[in-house]
Amino acid sequence: MPGRVPLPSSHPAAMAGRRRRRSWPLVAALSTGLLVGSAAAPAAATDDRPDRGGGHHRGQASTTVEPFGTAPDGTPVERWTLRNGDMTVRVLTYGGVIQTLEVPDAHGQVENVVLGFPDVAGYASDADPYFGSLIGRYGNRIAGGEFELDGERYQLPLNDGPNTLHGGPEGFDDRVWTATPVGDRRTAALQLQLVSPDGDQGFPGTLTTTVTYSVDRQERLTVHYEASTDAPTVVNLTQHTYWNLGGEGSGTIYDHELEIDADAYTPVDETLIPTGEIAPVEGTPFDFRDPTAIGARIRVADQQLLYGQGYDHNWVLNRDDDGAREGSDGEDELEEAAELHDPESGRTLTVSTTEPGLQFYSGNFLDGTLVGTGGSVYRQSDGLALETQHFPDSPNQPGFPSTELRPGEVYESTTVFELDN
């Protein structure tokens, strides 16, 4: 196992956890073409107002909606379609799920490049591996399902062996979000909101969360998160889409070439909880600083790969070398974190984020029991997740970036998924 490398207080990842009272960053507005967030305004002009049922109009963005069944409690579920240029994204109000994302390959053939289910029942099932879901209140794992905040101990329900995973057994992925279209002719955009009451899944404070999906004319999908609380709490939101750039149901992602801008990662124990180390990737199967086929080293007899049955780890992203996440205007900056390329289709996915970490999960636990949107059975590594995030178990790891959020502060995070061929 690599030797321990301490996380200095000046490290960009350590700086990244600090919450500030501030407004929605302009850098994200520039990338989406909209000023969106918890206070987003509706479309200003009649001509630009998103319709709630029409079709796509050539040369302009569209955000449309249709009924899509009901949640287990009978709540109606909607499916929203965001179209712009050559990209089409379908989003469910159940779990904020990205159900499909269609883009052309190098030859112009349009395919869905994310894994998912054809109906709500699949996402509501206990067998759902978080396909396309919004994750909260806390993405990734919390050891023992407990943490201490301001001298008080909180116990969460366990749903991953001895730990709590992705916010608990009834996390944000199992809720119906309220949807509001916020796009115009240039940008297809949808705002989702969810209020999580005090004590929800054991977490303190009433948390109000707003997530905005937007697709711009450059076929970039931007995900912007905002959250506020009425009592001290911990928050770590992320998006859990499974990608296969060869097309949904086309086989494994072992030939996909992945590059991650990270010199270090966080090793885990046998239950996939970080040990507290910040370990160098140099000389290990976790070195993706240069484009590397995912299958090239996934079967190496490395203890970390044995624990995860493949890759299921957090990378410590390299941020600006000045030791801060803030730009000259005082706002968080989007920085490129990873690039995924499929040689066969020619598609490339670039992930940029304001977050300090990236969880790369190689779909190790897909076991051939799930049938996807295209009718194919999903087997091991038929898709992968690139989850931008703060680090796993941060509430119990004082050396990791903080995930605390307090009244009067605004949690903000932005991730951009850009597809090219």
- The per-residue pLDDT for range 211-263, each reduced to its tens digit, is 999 999 998 999 999 999 999 999 999 999 999 999 999 999 999 999 999 99
Residues with catalytic function:
240, 387
Cα(88)–Cα(356) distance, integer angstroms? 29
Within 10 A of 191 (CB to CB), how many other CB atoms are there?
24
Q: Which helix (H) or strand (E) holds 303?
A: helix 303-308
Q: 134 — phi, psi (to 5°)?
A: -80, 135
Q: pLDDT value at position 33?
A: 44
Least confident of 40-44, 60-64, 75-79: 40-44
Q: What is the pTM of this model?
A: 0.87
| Tokens read off for 376 | 């194919």
Cα(367)–Cα(315) distance, integer angstroms? 25
Q: pLDDT value at position 59?
A: 64
Domain ranges of the chain: 12-38+47-420
Q: 17 — phi, psi (to 5°)?
A: -80, -5
The set of residues, in sequence order, having a beta carbon less than 8 Å from that of 286 and lying 6+ positions away, is 265, 304, 311, 313, 315
Cα(20)–Cα(325) distance, integer angstroms? 12
State the first-to-last Cα distance of the chain, in angstroms, to the nearest integer.
38
Cα(286)–Cα(359) distance, integer angstroms? 12
Residue 330's Cβ-side half-sphere holds a number of Cα atoms within 13 Å equal to 6
| Tokens read off for 247 | 């097309």
Q: Tell me if 173 sits within 8 A of 129, measured CB to CB.
A: no
Please tell me whether residue 144 adopts helix, strand or coil conformation. Answer: helix
Q: 105 — phi, psi (to 5°)?
A: -95, -170
The set of residues, in sequence order, having a beta carbon less than 8 Å from that of 109 and lying 6+ positions away, is none
Q: 391 — phi, psi (to 5°)?
A: -75, 150
Least confident of 31-35, 56-60, 368-372, 403-407: 31-35
Among candidate residues 248, 246, 247, the one with its CA nearest the CA of residue 342 = 246
Cα(88)–Cα(75) distance, integer angstroms? 26
Within 10 A of 86 (CB to CB), how many other CB atoms are there?
13
Among candidate residues 221, 216, 190, 213, the one with its CA nearest the CA of residue 113 = 221
The percent of residues above 70 in pLDDT, for the chain, comes to 83
Q: pLDDT value at position 60?
A: 87
Confidence check: pLDDT of 355 > 70? yes
Pairs from 163-170 (Cβ < 8 Å, separation ≥ 24) = 163/271, 163/272, 163/273, 164/138, 164/201, 165/140, 165/141, 166/130, 166/135, 166/138, 166/139, 166/140, 166/240, 167/135, 167/136, 167/137, 167/138, 167/139, 167/201, 167/203, 168/201, 168/202, 169/201, 170/201
Tens digit of pLDDT for each residue in 384-408? 999 999 999 999 999 999 999 999 9
CATH 3.40.30.10 fits 12-38+47-420, yes or no: no
Cα(315)–Cα(36) distance, integer angstroms? 29
Tens digit of pLDDT for each residue in 297-343? 999 999 999 999 999 999 999 988 433 333 334 346 999 999 999 99
Mean pLDDT in the chain?
A: 87
Could you list the beta-strand ranges (E) of 169-231.
Answer: 178-181, 188-196, 207-215, 220-229
Q: What's the Cα-to-Cα distance from 186 to each of 32, 33, 217, 219, 285, rounded to whole Å?
A: 9, 7, 7, 11, 42
